[in-house]
Chain A
Amino acid sequence: MITSTTAGLTLAGILFTLGLISILIRRNIIFMLVSVEIMLNAAGLAFVVAASRWGQPEGQVMFMFILAMAAAEVSVGLALILQLYHQLKTLDSDEASRMRG
């Protein structure tokens, strides 16, 4: 019988690994943004599990900061993707590997 901390941290590790695999194998740039969201969410899950392990509120405070950061990141990221789509007419991230000044 594994403890609840081990179970929660294992789930966070599995979700983080899935997000990492997705960001490595995908070439669609919106999918890469979604994978970053999955990884941030897994990190927040690890913080909440640690907060419940020690009974201290710091882990949940950190999760709220992760939430605020994810909201800011996704708005700026979507604006960047919009600019990229208008410039290149595609969502393939390989097309953006060459910078033209």
Chain B
Amino acid sequence: MGPAFYIAAAVAVISTLMVITRYNIMHALLYLIVSLLSIAVVFYLYGAPFMAALEVIIYAGAIMVLIIFFVMMLNLGPQTAGEERMWLQPRIWIGPSILCAALLLELGYLILQPAHATGDIHVVDPKTVGKTLFGPYILAVELAGMLLMAGIVGAYHLGRQKKKITHRFLERTSS
């Protein structure tokens, strides 16, 4: 494997180590996004460019935004503004920025380089993946659709706020 893989792997391991040692959840999520981006670069190096795009779009885009939005939603209160100011200090995002800059340099180098598979890596193009996905695995695709449907219904049911309909008198006696 070339040095590109080792740089991306080192960024992935360092950022994952930073994820599991942070105390603040927002700092951990920043480093987790860097870790997902570096794993996307590793996917690209292993001849799976479509999977790299999906990793960036779904993991680093959708799922991380969902978790960050959820964390922001939980912290309601007067101390939120102060925490926000503390979270956005420059020295906090210097670490993720350095790791991201390393990944960006590496990506630019890989794009400028002529594409060729090195060593024993076989490039599997997205067309083959799509043909397999909607050919022999069509039943699994439908099962995944049902799983996502169950996820939507379950999240709606669990996240719904229960409306309190007890009388004020009953509330005072019960508390």
> Is B110 part of the contact surface with A, judged by Cβ < 8 Å?
no
CB distance from B92 to the nearest CB of A (A): 17
A21 touches B9 (CB 8 A): no
**A26 to B, closest residue via Cβ:** B20
A-B contact pairs, 10 of them (CB 8 A): A8-B42, A19-B16, A37-B32, A38-B32, A59-B124, A60-B129, A61-B133, A71-B58, A74-B63, A76-B155
**B162 to A, closest residue via Cβ:** A86
CA gap between A48 and B158 in the complex, in Å:
34
Q: Is the interface of A mostly helix, strand, loop or mixed?
A: helix
CA gap between A35 and B144 in the complex, in Å:
23
**A18 to B, closest residue via Cβ:** B16
CA gap between A13 and B135 in the complex, in Å:
31
CA gap between A67 and B67 in the complex, in Å:
15
Q: Which of B13, B32, B121, B155 contacts A34 (CB 8 A)?
A: B32
CB distance from B7 to the nearest CB of A (A): 12
Known contacts A38-B32, A57-B129; A63 and B9 CB within 8 A of each other: no
Known contacts A7-B9, A54-B122; A41 and B47 CB within 8 A of each other: no
CA gap between A4 and B119 in the complex, in Å:
8
Q: Which residues of B contact A49 (CB under 8 A)?
A: 46
Tally inter-chain residue pairs, CB-CB below 8 A. 170
Q: Which residues of A contact B50 (CB under 8 A)?
A: 60
**Hey, which bits of chain B sit against chain A, CB under 8 A?**
1, 5, 9, 12-13, 16-17, 19-20, 25, 28-29, 32, 35-36, 39, 42-43, 46-48, 50-51, 54-55, 58-59, 62-63, 66-67, 70-71, 74, 118-124, 128-129, 131-133, 137, 140, 144, 147-148, 150-152, 154-159
Number of residues on chain A facing chain B (CB within 8 A): 59
CB within 8 Å of B: which of A54-98?
Answer: 54-61, 63-65, 67-76, 78-83, 85, 91
B58 touches A67 (CB 8 A): yes
CB distance from A45 to the nearest CB of B (A): 6
Q: Which residues of A contact B140 (CB under 8 A)?
A: 61, 65
B1 touches A7 (CB 8 A): yes
B29 touches A34 (CB 8 A): yes
Q: Which residues of B contact A3 (CB under 8 A)?
A: 1, 119-120
